[in-house]
Structure 1
Amino acid sequence: MDANIYQHFRSDEHSFIDLVGDWLEQVSFQYAPYLTEFLDPRQAYILETLVRQETDLKFRFFGGYGTAERVRCMIYPEYYEPEQEEFEIVLFEINYPKKFTTLSHGKILGTLIGSGMKREMFGDIISDGENWQVFVAKEVASYLQMQVNKIGSVTVRLDLKNYTEILTPKDGWSQEKTTVSSLRLDTVIATIFNISRQRSKQLIESGKIKINWIETQRPDFMLDLLDIVSIRGFGRLQIQEIEGKTKKEKIRLALGVLRK
């Protein structure tokens, strides 16, 4: 991997860059495809950038359905043409007593991680408002099906579903544009959710913020393209485009915002 590539990314992303470099080297030397685990949007962006800049290899993303947030990537030589089945993604629907209780994304996510699974082993968790489904790497599907029989105090069962039975997600994301004085985490949160910088800082330092599913307590964290920020009690936002600066040197942003 060209050492100059590091300067284009954050220091905490260097280990992932090295990992992608290993994948690319493996495909080049073995002349055979390589399938990644589930990647978040920022990781997918980094991988795509490196493949395009560093090699003549090809790649394809798939997360189980067309607009998936978390995806697996197939990296492959020019001669190869992957099929959808080769992404090895299994779809489970969560069977639970809907008349008596409700589930939430956070409770489901916590249960899956609590079962001993790495976050990279499962993709999107989707809902139509009542029913819930989760996309899982095939290599751990049987283990997960045996392990998960409760979410909190609710008895559940994971039922295998075909791709023709994928729910239509009830998606509250809205497309918004704004300007910010800085890409600092506390500044962006304060601007998008119309709260004070001090309140934003308090949320971050109290552990209520995750960036790409990882908790951070740094108000000065600098956001970048395709980062997803989860704010407990407020919702989520994603930096979809950085569109340059205004005459007053403010940064123009295009965002996806999910408000609670």
Structure 2
Amino acid sequence: MIENVYQHFRKEEQPFIDNVIGWIRSVEDQYTPYLTNFLDPRQLHIVKTIVGKNNEINIHSFGGYEAAERVRAFICPTYFTPKQEDFEITIFEIRYPVKFASLSHGKVLGTLLSTGLKRDYFGDIISDGTRWQVFVENSTKGYIEQQVISIGKVAVRMEEKNYTEILLPIDNWMIESQTVSSMRLDTLVSSVFKISRQRAKQMIESGKVKLNWVELNRPDFEIGLLDIVSVRGYGRLQVQEIEGKTKKDKWRLQLGVLHK
């Protein structure tokens, strides 16, 4: 059974798949819900695929706001329907001297990770251009308040907010259709951001490209459904739909693209 699951995904994803199978078995054996850490869109896709058409288990997901990319998921028996507060997510706004300093997604994330907590404990980081908010697991909020007192050289304070005070992010994803010769990372980066294949390869090898928020330096890596690719200085792309191949054996894709 496990081998059959593995064949649908990447070798690198096998440890996560093992975790998912363990979560499902725990729900089945104990008949109680299991709440995950924050998952990226690709991980949520894996969870949903493995659960499949199991009529005894449901999946509910929430990331703090409706359009969240990173979400916590309940794998649960059909009797359980979680409420918003059951997902145990805290919203922090980063208070800092706006007139004298500026923040960026990379700086905020780098500071959060420097606390020693894994990326799994943090959800989306959003901004309206000036203000910044971050979604975290409830269990970490006291620790984060104590640890995050500066971002770079900027003094900051983490202030808890209510759901009614969530910012309206300025991110504006555009939906684009692309036809590409392969699903290689360098091919997609080159095609979407209109740069040469060689330039795309150099950027990937020099650590300027991330896949699902993790640095990836393999130009030949095969991108899959719901992967998010971040390219420093250019923006982000997400494979939202793989429509199949053309008569010339090229891939037809629907992509979400966020230009910087």
| Alignment TM-score, normalising by the size of structure 2 | 0.98
2:38 aligned counterpart, secondary structure: coil
Deviation at 1:245, TM superposition (A): 1.5
Separation (CA, whole Å) in 1 of partners of 2:55 and 2:185: 33
- Superposed, 1:210-229 pairs within 5 Å as 210-229=210-229
Q: Give 1:163's aligned residue.
A: 163
Q: Give 2:26's aligned residue.
A: 26
- Superposed, 1:98-137 pairs within 5 Å as 98-137=98-137
Deviation at 1:54, TM superposition (A): 5.3
Deviation at 1:53, TM superposition (A): 4.4
Which ranges of structure 1 fall in alignment gaps of 5 or more residues? none
TM-align CA RMSD: 1.0
Separation (CA, whole Å) in 2 of partners of 1:66 and 1:98: 27
Q: Give 1:230's aligned residue.
A: 230
Separation (CA, whole Å) in 2 of partners of 1:59 and 1:253: 27
AA in 1 matched with 2:193: F
Separation (CA, whole Å) in 1 of partners of 2:53 and 2:248: 33
Does structure 1 residue 17 correspond to structure 2 residue 7?
Answer: no
Deviation at 1:247, TM superposition (A): 1.8
Separation (CA, whole Å) in 2 of partners of 1:105 and 1:159: 18
Q: Give 1:51's aligned residue.
A: 51
- Superposed, 1:90-101 pairs within 5 Å as 90-101=90-101
**Percent of pairs identical after alignment?**
60
AA in 1 matched with 2:166: I
Q: Give 2:198's aligned residue.
A: 198
AA in 1 matched with 2:72: R
Deviation at 1:81, TM superposition (A): 1.7
AA in 1 matched with 2:35: L
AA in 2 matched with 1:97: P
- Superposed, 1:179-194 pairs within 5 Å as 179-194=179-194
Deviation at 1:172, TM superposition (A): 2.6
Deviations 1:181-228 (A, max 9, x none): 000001111111111111111011111111011111111100000000
Separation (CA, whole Å) in 2 of partners of 1:75 and 1:9: 20
Separation (CA, whole Å) in 2 of partners of 1:124 and 1:186: 26
Does structure 1 residue 8 correspond to structure 2 residue 8?
Answer: yes
| Alignment TM-score, normalising by the size of structure 1 | 0.98
Deviation at 1:249, TM superposition (A): 1.4
